[in-house]
Amino acid sequence: MSDILAGLNEQQRQAVTTTEGFIRVIAGAGSGKTRALSHRFAYLVNDIGIMPANILCVTFTNKSANEMKQRIRRLTGDSDTGYISTFHSFCVAVLQEDINTVQYPKNFLVLDNADIDAMLKIIYEERGLTLRHMTFSKARDMIEIRKIFKDPEYYEHMIALPLDKLQQRYLDAVEPDDIIFWGYLYQQKKCFSLDYNDLIKYVLYIFSVNEVIRLKWQKRLEYIMIDEYQDIDELQYRLMKVLCAYHQNLFIVGDPDQTIYTWRGASVWYILNFDKEFSNVRTIMMMTNYRSTPQIVAVANSLIGNNKHRIKKDLLPVLPDDTKVVYHHAKTAEAEAKWIVAEIKQLVANGIKLGDIAILYRAHYISRMLEEVLLKEEVPYKIYSGVQFFNRMEIKDALSYLRLIAYKDDLSFLRIANVPKRNIGERRMKFLQDYAMQNQCSLYSALERTIDSEIFKSTKAQQFVALIERFSAGYQGLPVSELLNAVLDQSGYEVMLRTEGSQERLDNLAELKQSVYEYEISCGEECTLEDYLAHVALLTNTDALSGQNSVKLMTVHTAKGLEFLHVFLCGLAEGVFPSRKTATLEGMEEERRLAFVAFTRAPKALFITDAEGRNFDGSHRYPSRFIFNVDKALLVYTNELDDSLVYETNWNITSSEKMLAAQASGPVFKPGDRIVHSILGSGAVIDIEYDKAAYVIKFDDLGTMRKINFKAKLEAESAFNGNK
């Protein structure tokens, strides 16, 4: 037997050795899917002899991609790991090779949210917009919606329109939406930059208009493997179909029970209907759970069995028996938090490390009371709220220096031209912006051309330009870590922080240097400045998680893909988890999948809690249906629920489910129809509010209109008259 296959169970061996055609692996939580993927890659390379450069392995986070590379290096003994990356990182690789097809330079810029905000600031200042017109956050959302849904061919405008025509469309725009959208496209093209949504769009466009390039990539990628397939969206699905069309070798791994990103475009149907979309599909079930105790697995199976849109399966535990899952119902949110913290302190007293404990919740606002109690009880904790290491001021400044050296782009220039102070303030920056607009050039180029102007006397503009030019001319021969050290030193940035006494920021810069060094080592190949900058721009929130010895607080979405020995899932109340925003049966199934993900994060012990109280809308808070979805015999109740509370909760849940069912069935009548209500009499349907699953009806005997639920018993007036 191949060394690669040693230690694999039968289902994992099937997944590894079934190499040709379309293969779907349904991998339950904790079933070793990452192990199967990495061993399959090694099997293709070591046992079959496939070149690593002819394999694409897609993961959904950079963290997962790096872990996969390390595993594969250990298995193959080779530093060449082909294309192991996220969809977006792979697209960066394609574009770095072929974006010149659409007249973009190969050293294009990849934007993150901070860069987009910097562009928006320029647009707002130029066109007199304020945050009252639209916040930056809403502007980013609006741009994304227009790019994906309302104007999906926008990139053809960016590609086809000359810069001056794109600028004119921006200047001609009147409505704030149009001003922001076209101004953003103009700013993007001005510095040849692409954001997250552009990367796949541009690759698909290039493949659609250039058959030679499309065929080159199709032939190159002899084997395609996709992890977390349940999370792919429409654009990723389209890209995958194009790439696998030549060799017809596509291997997907996923779990429909862990589809929790439909709000981001994912659809459970891509994995459920895989055998209908492709021919001769082989499905392999990996159900052995190596992560959690039998008691936790049983609770997870019991919960998810309530969903209908799934492949019926049960996780099979192999770990020895341990304690049952604990359910605690508290009278108040404060009492709930105090119980959790008391249990944590007891775990610590029994020798458990704080770093092995996590508190998960559906939404961030739940953490407030937990924080208060943790602080009061002096229990160290860390909240993972999506604020990334790479978004800190000093980190953005340092990276902007590197980007200016590589790209000489406006965003980086605006950020660091006067950091440290060089007397290039608002007046001089306005002068450069006006010059750049009149002469269709970058701000850096404008400074170069006007450096001898009277306006820049008594500034350090000359030294700044000399610094950037010196590094721009020689950075290709330097390791990125060495370049970063030199820039921070010679720019005076670190001296500035030392003068300010900003030790925390200096520590963060030291951490940045360490991360660059580790990235260079992990590459196992030549690492260019452009590669590193693209890598940083694509980093996800969970990539920044650290191993500090403190209790970890985070949302369930953030916890996806992670595990913690002891997990507390709090706030399991109707209107909280499931969310009060859940308006469809499909949405409720996703909420249940999210709870399933939370349950399966725990290898050793799981505690679930809720509290009575009031929701935001003033309604009473009841225990979550997900608690009742689990066979009661599988849980240890710390105290029995009052009969009246159970009755009211069940009534509330039943009403909610009837509402969801009514919404799923849709309206029977349409505007203009005449209806008869058994109590309110005859009337006409005026409108339909789909989000509320309600008709707006003007009853003949009532002075004002009423909103009537879809589930209410209504008859068509003609049928009613005929039945008299």
- What are the catalytic residues? 33-34, 227-228, 258, 601
DSSP-derived secondary structure letter, 573: B
Separation of alpha carbons 357 and 344, rounded Å: 8
Q: Is 109 helix (H, G, I), strand (E, B) or coil?
A: strand
State the DSSP string of 151-194.
STTHHHHHHHS-HHHHHHHHHH--SHHHHHHHHHHHHHHHTTEE
Alpha-carbon distance of 30 to 561, in angstroms, equals 10
Cβ neighbours of residue 258 closer than 8 Å, sequence gap 6 or more = 29, 230, 560, 593, 596, 597
d(CA 129, CA 469): 35
29 is in an annotated binding site: yes
> Could you give the CA distance from residue 720 to residue 104 in angstroms, rounded to a whole number?
67
Q: Residue 533: how many CB atoms within 10 A of its CB?
A: 20
The bridge status of strand 674-677 relative to strand 605-611 is: unpaired
Find residue 605's DSSP bridge partners: 566
Is residue 491 annotated as involved in ligand binding?
A: no
Angle between helices 393-407 and 461-474 (to 10 degrees): 70
Is 664 marked within a binding site?
A: no
Q: What is the CB-side half-sphere exposure of residue 685 using CA atoms within 13 A?
A: 23
Say if residues 324 and 350 touch (Cβ distance below 8 Å). no
719 is in an annotated binding site: no
Interatomic CA distance for residues 359 and 564, integer angstroms: 9
Of 325, 251, 276, which Cα lies nearest the Cα of 21?
251
CA separation for the pair 186, 184 (Å, rounded): 5
Give DSSP secondary structure letters for 670-701: -TT-EEEETTTEEEEEEEEEGGGTEEEEEETT
Q: Using CA atoms, how far apart are residues 161 and 686, in angstroms rounded to an integer?
A: 46
692: how many CB neighbours lie within 10 A of its CB? Answer: 14
User: Was 406 annotated as part of a binding site?
Assistant: no
What stretches of 185-281 adopt beta strand conformation (E)? 193-194, 223-226, 250-254
Does the bond joining 420 to the residue before it have cis omega, within 30 degrees of 0?
yes
344, 347, 353, 357: CA torsion to nearest 10: -50
Cβ-based neighbours of 350, under 8 Å, separated by 6 or more: none
CA distance 684 to 716: 10
Tell me if the bond preceding 623 is cis, omega within 30° of 0: no
Interaxial angle between packed helices 333-349 and 367-376, expressed in degrees from 0 to 180 and rounded to the nearest 10? 50
Beta bridge partners of 330: 611
Question: Could you tell me if 91 and 200 are in contact, meaning their C-beta atoms sit under 8 angstroms apart?
Answer: yes
Annotation-wise, does 34 bind a ligand? yes
Tell whether residue 61 is among the known ligand binding residues. no
Is residue 254 a contact partner of residue 271, using CB atoms and an 8 Å limit? Answer: yes
Q: Which amino acid is at 526?
A: E
27 labelled binding-site residue: yes
DSSP characters for 12-79?
HHHHHH--SSEEEEEE-TTS-HHHHHHHHHHIIIIII---GGGEEEE-SSHHHHHHHHHHHHHHH--S
- Let me know how long the chain is: 724
Tell me the binding residues for ATP: 27-34
Tell me the binding residues: 27-34
